[in-house]
Amino acid sequence: MSSLKELAELVITGDIQKVKDATKQLLEAGEDPLRVINEGLIPGINEVGVRFKEGEMFVPEMMMSAQAMKAGVELAKEKIGGTDIPTAGKVVMGSVKGDLHDIGKNLVIMMLESSGFSIVDLGVDAPVEKFVQAVKEHKPQVVGMSALLTTTMPVMQEVIRALDKEGLRSKVKVVIGGAPVTQEYAEEIGADGYAPDAGTAVELCKQLLN
Amino acid sequence: MEYASKHGAGMAFRTLTPEQIREIHSASCRVLEEVGVVVHHDEAADLLKQAGAYTDAGGRIYIPSALVKRALESAPSRITLYNRLGEPALWLEKSNVYFGAGSDTLIYLDPFTGERRPWQSSDVATALRVVDALPNLDFVMSMGLLSDVDRRMINRTQYALMLKNSVKPQVVIAEDRGTVADIFEMAAAATGGTEALKHRPIFALYCEPTSPLQLPFESVDKLLLAAENRIPVNFACGAVAGASTPVTVAGTVVQANAEALCGLVVHQLKNPGAPFLYGYGDSPLDMGTMVAVYSVPEALLLQGCLCDLARYYSLPSWGYAGCSSSKAFDEQAVVEGTMFTLIGALQGCNLMHDVFYIESGRTGSLELLVLTDEVISRVRYMLGGVDTTPDYLAVEAIRRVGPGGNFLGDEHTARHFRESWRGNLSDFNNYDAWAAEGSRTMGARIREKLRDIMEAYRPVPLAPDAEREIDGILRRAEERLAG
């Protein structure tokens, strides 16, 4: 029989199967699913964040831990039923139309998820309307756009204009990123922020929501 | 099977054994056959299907090894690139090595003030003239992304600047088919027409897949246009190991090779015998900082693999040199730039680009460019190897001088000393003489040389009517894009 502390340890080791098994055991033994999340799984991923900042753990290990945590959270959620788990915020993310690159975007998603944000991933090659539709449907606090190509960068501006036209612009913060993107470009097209890397993107989202 | 590099007097270098080359080739063919690729271009997808590739219900295309074999047989083993004056300048084959600058950095690092700023057209013109002036740089690229022209005109304007400020052959980045067509027209204007340009290409085109295993529309569209017009072209995966390709060097080679071969198959199906440049690069993801970093040892090893594979395939090779992850022109930049330049030359990589890149390609340093010119000079000397013919073995000179003598006064020394390497930046004074001349460091000497070039150097100008024609092509493109 695992304890919540041991569950946190398993999240740190990033062993998905063991986290699932331990979560099941705890739930079957009658542990409160919210406690399993808040006192087992979340402290585990928080410790991973600390160790990452200190240079003891690295991104691939963080990814494993994040996946393990997510698997545990899914099991606990089933027990809770319809109750929404409180999150740090909701972010709609996508690589804009014409751009098939998703590694940077996926890194940002992974980092945001590890920091408690919930994500709606629009994938790659996402047209302007898809962003608008997602904002209407999911009512996020933040819209994140990624572009690796200079040719697709202008689509970011189109999305901002479309949000404006639909009266949605004031309801969300828009953040952008990608190799050719700069702070100046973000200002030029009227985005709320720019992040040069995934770590900064998380800080940026937190700042914008405060 | 030829795979190791061959330089002067039997000097050679290899990264892989013949067995490893066969293993990698086989693994790449398995990826193309078993995993398949996604081709976002109808004509290319049709070419593959008609040639016998299987397409599944989801649209993924699986390429049989026989198609790879046929493409490797029809692609030429040598590409000659000409300069703007119509003279053959670069022979891309075997272990010949050529170096050039890079394209599209975001930031210009002012060598005199240290200021970092977005590139202006005048900065790019200046930088191109510096490349033109440096004797060991063999080709030009666009240097920086222009911040002072309409975004859609950037590649065209860069190309006009390349033609106006340098006679050297070019490697070109272009966003789409229309841009390549305009660039081709500008090149034709400078070299005596379309047919002459097809016969004597002055530029190669850079295209890339979107890893893993996707062929985006614009890249394939350019690849097909290049095949039609016999513009030398690559299909170079810019790997980010651990993210867009496997984290291991071998895994990255297997996938990047599969992607390059897939590009080659499409290219040769379109126009068998059209010139194709084989290569790719890796800037692995640093798992602590999440930055894709240049010039780490893994990237150098990867280039060794691709050079050995290129010779095994009898294809001209494409790679990197003289670049760095460092944020400044500092000791790290010198270490990384110099290592890559030396190893790339030993590997016998035909066309090496990105000399002057720092900050992993975001910033361009003309100081690193000038320094690397001197590094290449040292390296080229070394590639000559050691002459062991009787006069060089010098037994007669040793006999003449004898025990306790001095070679300084011997005619053998007088006859041969001018063959020794001489640089023009490195300092060989004693301390007092060096101090008397102002104790100038290498950096100071580099900036002085840069200032001299910037003030005095004038490239061979274009003919006035060619220049007018090029400006006309630019103007028409601008009107078209605005309309």
pLDDT at A83: 65
Lowest mean pLDDT, pick from A42-56, A132-146, B253-267: A42-56
pLDDT at B426: 96
Report pLDDT digits (tens) over B321-350.
Answer: 999 999 999 999 999 999 999 999 999 999
Q: Select from B41, B210, B294 the residue whose CB has the most chain A CBs within 10 Å, as the one to mutate to test that interface.
A: B210
Report pLDDT digits (tens) over B111-145.
Answer: 999 999 999 999 999 999 999 999 999 999 999 99
Q: Find the mean pLDDT for residues B11-25.
A: 97
Q: Which residues of A touch B240 (CB under 8 A)?
A: 103
B154 touches chain A (CB under 8 A): yes
Report pLDDT digits (tens) over A147-164.
Answer: 988 888 999 999 999 999
Report pLDDT digits (tens) over B165-185.
Answer: 999 999 999 999 999 999 999
CB B142 within 8 A of CB B179: no
Catalogue all structural domains in chain A, each as residue range(s) with its CATH number.
4-80 (1.10.1240.10), 89-209 (3.40.50.280)
Report pLDDT digits (tens) over B172-221.
Answer: 999 999 999 999 999 999 999 999 999 999 999 999 999 999 999 999 99
B210 touches chain A (CB under 8 A): yes
- Is B290's CB within 8 Å of A153's CB? no
Report pLDDT digits (tens) over B384-404.
Answer: 999 999 999 999 999 999 999
pLDDT band at residue A102 under the 50/70/90 scheme: confident
- Among all residues of chain A, which has the CA nearest to that of B174? A151
* Candidates A101, A154, A184; nearest CB to B151: A154
- Is A150's CB within 8 Å of B151's CB? yes
CATH number of B1-386+421-483: 3.20.20.480
H/E element, A143: strand A142-146
Q: Which residues of A touch B283 (CB under 8 A)?
A: none
Instruction: Tell how strand B107-109 and strand B116-118 pair up.
Output: antiparallel
Q: Of all residues in chain B, what percent carry a pLDDT higher than 90?
A: 97
B327 touches chain A (CB under 8 A): no
* Candidates B214, B218, B240; nearest CB to A103: B240
Ordered by start, the domain boundaries in chain B are 1-386+421-483, 390-419
* Candidates A100, A153, A199; nearest CB to B210: A100
- Among all residues of chain B, which has the CA nearest to that of A100? B210
CA end-to-end span of chain B, whole Å? 56
pLDDT at A179: 83
Q: Nearest CA of chain A to the CA of B211: how many Å?
A: 8
pLDDT at A82: 62
pLDDT at A115: 78
pLDDT at A101: 85
pLDDT at A198: 82
B244 touches chain A (CB under 8 A): yes
* Candidates A55, A100, A153; nearest CB to B288: A55
B291 touches chain A (CB under 8 A): yes
Report pLDDT digits (tens) over A12-53.
Answer: 999 999 999 999 999 999 999 989 998 999 899 889 888 988
- Is B214's CB within 8 Å of A100's CB? yes
Give Cα A188 to chain centroid, integer Å. Answer: 26
pLDDT at A42: 87
* Candidates A58, A100, A107; nearest CB to B288: A58
**Average pLDDT of chain B to the nearest whole number:** 97
- Is B290's CB within 8 Å of A149's CB? no
- Among all residues of chain A, which has the CA nearest to that of B243? A103
Q: Nearest CA of chain B to the CA of A181: how many Å?
A: 9
**Which ipTM score applies to this complex?**
0.78
Q: Select from B290, B327, B360 the residue whose CB has the most chain A CBs within 10 Å, as the one to mutate to test that interface.
A: B290
